[in-house]
Structure 1
Amino acid sequence: MKKILTRVALIAGLTLGVSQTAFAQWVVFDPTNFAQNVITAAKAVKGEIYQDTNIAYQYQMMANQLLQAKDLSPAAMQAQYSQITGEISKVNSLTSTLTNLYGNLQQGSAWLTHVQTLMARSGKSREQWFADMGTLYNQNDQAVKNMFQMGNDVMTHTQELAQRRQELQSQLALSPTQQATAELTTHYLDIVTSQNADLLQMNAAKAQQAAQQQSLANAQEQAKTAAMQSFTAQQASERAALNSSLGSGASQ
């Protein structure tokens, strides 16, 4: 159940430590395979939503029966009722998070379909299309930057929701069936998160490249400024020497 958290930490390390040469790895990203895994993960999440919705309903039925019960200790009944309603609240929070996660996966699937459509319309191979996109991205083409940033944002949010899902699940006593369902869903989400590393690397490498270019530009600007200051100081010195020489000649 903790695999996806480890995977996210790994991706963070890749994002921070990626080298400039990693930008050449655009062709690593396979939208077709990624899309299939996103769809599979979405189906798993949908099944988990259905299961948790039924569990919440069963808890609610238990709470209603408890309220209708007679000849029970008020203190014991209150304690039991509070426990049941507490579980209902946790399950509802989990269901809400899963619903958001499902919607986010659907957005990711739509984005990947869009990328596949653009690729098909271009008539180019996957490798050539991504190489061309890499060139445009390098040239700061705004449309290409926006397109890949959108995919980045959607899938990063998916990872955040997946972590929230696990945090909520850790607060529940899952039945064997729930546990099996949760582990299967986590497996598919883990695959999606792993593949998203390629998408993250695109922007990470570009960001590092931009930072290196900016650093070089700053160094060049500082060198120009220093040269200009030196030239200005030299001119001022020569002008002062000339004025001094002219002043001495006039006094004679």
Structure 2
Amino acid sequence: MFLYSLRSESTVFSSCWSKQSFYGPVEGGEGSILTFYGPVTGGEGSILTFYGPVTGGEGSILTFYGPVTGGEGFILTFYGPLEGGEGFILTFYGPVKGGEGSILTFYGPVEGGEGSTLTFYGPVKGGEGSTLTFYGPVKGGEGSTLTFYGPLEGGEGFILTFYGPVKGGEGSILTFYGPVKRGEGSTLTFYGPVKGGEGSTLTFYGPLEEGEGFILTFYGPVKGGDGSILTFYGPVKGDEGSTLTFYGPLEGGEGFILTFS
């Protein structure tokens, strides 16, 4: 088993356009730094544990089949693809930042603890069975896309800000307690329930389209700007204090129910 250990606060592991392949754990202690410009490839069962920043320059690639775990203050910055195979786990408590053209592909859970942030300008793709659990903001810049087939769960204070499409496949779930804000031209396509807890808000300017069996449950305002569209085939339920404000068509197909307080 290959072991690469970083434990000195002044240690820097740098690979300039080189390929680093490993099948054992890579461990970085407090203050450790991992900087790379070429691919970092971890085979089955590999582990990357880190407490300092992991920075990938332009064209960098991080490919992984084992867990990536970042402790408090952990920072992951990348400009190339971050690909996690089946069973991949990404757990972190600091920011994950993806620059222009970055890609995050995963098939296992991505979990961000309190204070964590996910900022990106490229696509985030979650395959079947993937989960995204978050307590900090998720911010997608212009042209970004979020595609997933498992639950997306945001705890108290969670914010989802988006300018590209959000697509939830069959069986997908979106649960949140903070605002979901989508800019001009954004779309939200969904086949599973969208649930917003107390004080949550949903603001959008593009179409909100849901497939059969869709459920929208809400405790805060739902606001659609000029030209917005709400098309659905399941119930829309608003509890006490909720509001529905709309400037475009609101269309309900067969079996549609609109219940609002």
Using structure 2 for the length normalisation, give the TM-score. Answer: 0.18
Q: As a proportion of its length, which structure holds more strand?
A: 2
Q: As a proportion of its length, which structure holds more helix?
A: 1
Q: Which has the larger radius of gyration?
A: 1
Q: Which one has more relative contact order, counting CA pairs under 8 Å at least 6 apart?
A: 1
Using structure 1 for the length normalisation, give the TM-score. Answer: 0.18
